[in-house]
Structure 1
Amino acid sequence: MPAHAWPHWIAVAARMGYAARGVVYLVLGTLTFLAAFRAASHTGSKGAVRTLLEQPFGSVLVGLLVVGLAGYVFWRLIQAIFDPDGLGNGVKGIFIRLALLVSAFSYSTLALYAASLLFSVRLSGGGEEGGSGKAVVSALNGIFSLDTLNLALAAIFAGVAIAHWWKAFAGTYEKYFKADESKMQIIRKVSIVGLSARGLIFATLSWLLVLRFFDLQGEDSEGPNPGLKDALSYFQDLPYGAGILAGVGLGLGAFALYSLAEARWRRIETPDFGS
């Protein structure tokens, strides 16, 4: 492929990827909101894909989702390796680029899972999930002791939560959007709610890992590492859990709208591959 064609296809892949992420979170947010009223059960990202498959023309929808998720993984790798957003090689830039690599890995597992549903192939470890991030945990379990891994992941998730909240309230996401002021007024509201909700999910995962590190979860401390589904269960078990879960569902829906806004209006800077 000619070098001048790469920027176009990278941009297409990125926008398809943001749209696919938006669809996943839209389904997640809807199911989470309904679960607060016992009209559905809360689930993780793989459950959202299964729900999508059960809809009319579900195979077509999931097929498009697989293509979009593949585009998202490709874009995340481009961001992490070639740094088109100019994050740099400082501590902050390296941290964000490593997080982008982890994101690429997580969404690649979700894309493979969605593809396996289309072709009726059961992937190993494809049981009831708590989020695609568990694949990252499983990969690291063989390298680090469980206690060390739990504490390290708790710190990482806490950092990601803080980064989401900073992004939401400092408005650092705005520099990546190319939209007029009337649209940005809506995007700002959606971004604050959506990014805050996703930050809350990561903060809760961090807290669950801290509880596990100090062995405060009893028998649960011996089970699989917590994921999205576990975080939602934690919210549901709190006082006024139904209201909290409904709010989280709305927040995840807002993050879906934020992702869809990125698909339409995000500035996609691509590396210069030469002519």
Structure 2
Amino acid sequence: MDLSAVTSNIPSTKPGWVKTFARIGLIAKGIVYCLVGTLAFMAAFEIGGRSEQSAGKTGVFRFIMEQPYGKVLLGIVALGMLCYTLWRFIQAIADTEDKGTDAKGIGRRIGYAFSGLVYGALAFTAAQLVMGNSSSGSSDSRQTLARELLAQPFGQWLLGAVAIGTMAVGIYQFYRAYSDMYMKKLQASRIKPEMRDTLVRAGKIGYIARGFVWLIIGYLLLQAALNSNFQKAGSSSQAFQFLEENAYGSYLLGALALGLLSYGVFMFVRAKYEVINTDM
């Protein structure tokens, strides 16, 4: 595929526009993850009647809707996630990160596009709720994916490959945490010294927590493949429920929730201090 031909047809984008969209998107992502972590922690210790189902991203959207001026707030979050989506697509198509067109570079750019698709779907779900479609987000997207794959020839193998890929993403989150790769583009020197260590540690904990979520989701997809039962697949809310059902589940879920809250906080740090590339 000649990506340079595709890139040449993209209208010239002002660097300031790209940076603004990236930073707004990271703030919206931080808000969502902070709420996911908070609601998951509340679910772990049965605070405020919260359940694991209400701690997923669509549960977070419904929580926002319940607040004063909820539609306005959720609309702002939806626009923020749309900004994040567009930034990811710009990274993928225009190669602003200079990943190149070799196999590794294409893989990274596909990863950016996939991230854009995920957050684009979330932005759409949030927008549907704002517009009054209360049934939006009620179905589990991963169960839908599992059902569609299992209906295909060699469906169990296909779903198994998706499961392994999902778990590989989880392992990659661990690698990003322990290698300090997540700090690569962060202008840490601009952070106040008395806050730097805490914020950097929050990022490491956050990526580790996110890795565990991806691993559990991958495991659930693998169970769906092995049993040829799409209902065994699940999203983050099902991952929280899976964790809660194990020994010391409340404490495990509580720890994971704090990790996701840390990840959300680190998104705010990225929004302020990350170097956003705009060269195309």
Q: TM-score range by the shorter chain?
A: 0.7 to 0.9
Distance 1:260 1:133, change over 3 A: farther
**Deviation of the 1:58 alpha carbon:** 1.3
Compute the TM-score of the two structures, normalised by the length of structure 1: 0.87
Decide which of 210, 219, 224 is 1:207's aligned counterpart. 219
Distance 1:192 1:134, change over 3 A: farther
- For residue 156 of structure 1, what is the amino acid of its counterpart? G
Compute the TM-score of the two structures, normalised by the length of structure 2: 0.86
Point out where structure 2 has 5 or more consecutive residues left out of the alignment: 1-10
Distance 1:208 1:139, change over 3 A: closer
1:154-173 correspondence runs (5 A)? 154-173=163-182
- For residue 230 of structure 1, what is the amino acid of its counterpart? Q
1:21-100 correspondence runs (5 A)? 21-39=29-47, 40-42=50-52, 43-100=55-112
CA distance in 2, matches of 1:21, 1:166: 21
| RMSD value, Cα | 2.5
Higher relative contact order (CA 8 A, sep 6+): 1
Name the % identity.
Answer: 29
Distance 1:21 1:7, change over 3 A: same
1:121 aligned to 2:129? no
CA distance in 1, matches of 2:144, 2:105: 24
CA distance in 1, matches of 2:201, 2:90: 29
CA distance in 1, matches of 2:129, 2:155: 31
CA distance in 1, matches of 2:80, 2:144: 20
CA distance in 2, matches of 1:223, 1:137: 8
Distance 1:41 1:196, change over 3 A: same
SS in 2 for 1:267: coil
**Deviation of the 1:139 alpha carbon:** 7.4
Aligned to 2:114: 102
Runs of 4+ in structure 1 deviating by more than 4 angstroms, as ranges, are 132-145
**Deviation of the 1:90 alpha carbon:** 3.5
**Deviation of the 1:142 alpha carbon:** 6.9
Distance 1:262 1:62, change over 3 A: same
1:106 and 1:135 in contact (8 A); partners too: no
1:106 and 1:136 in contact (8 A); partners too: no
Decide which of 14, 23, 46 is 1:6's aligned counterpart. 14
**Deviation of the 1:46 alpha carbon:** 0.8
**Deviation of the 1:101 alpha carbon:** 1.3
SS in 1 for 2:247: coil
CA distance in 2, matches of 1:146, 1:47: 30
**Deviation of the 1:154 alpha carbon:** 1.3
2:143 and 2:230 in contact (8 A); partners too: no
2:174 and 2:207 in contact (8 A); partners too: yes
CA distance in 2, matches of 1:126, 1:242: 26
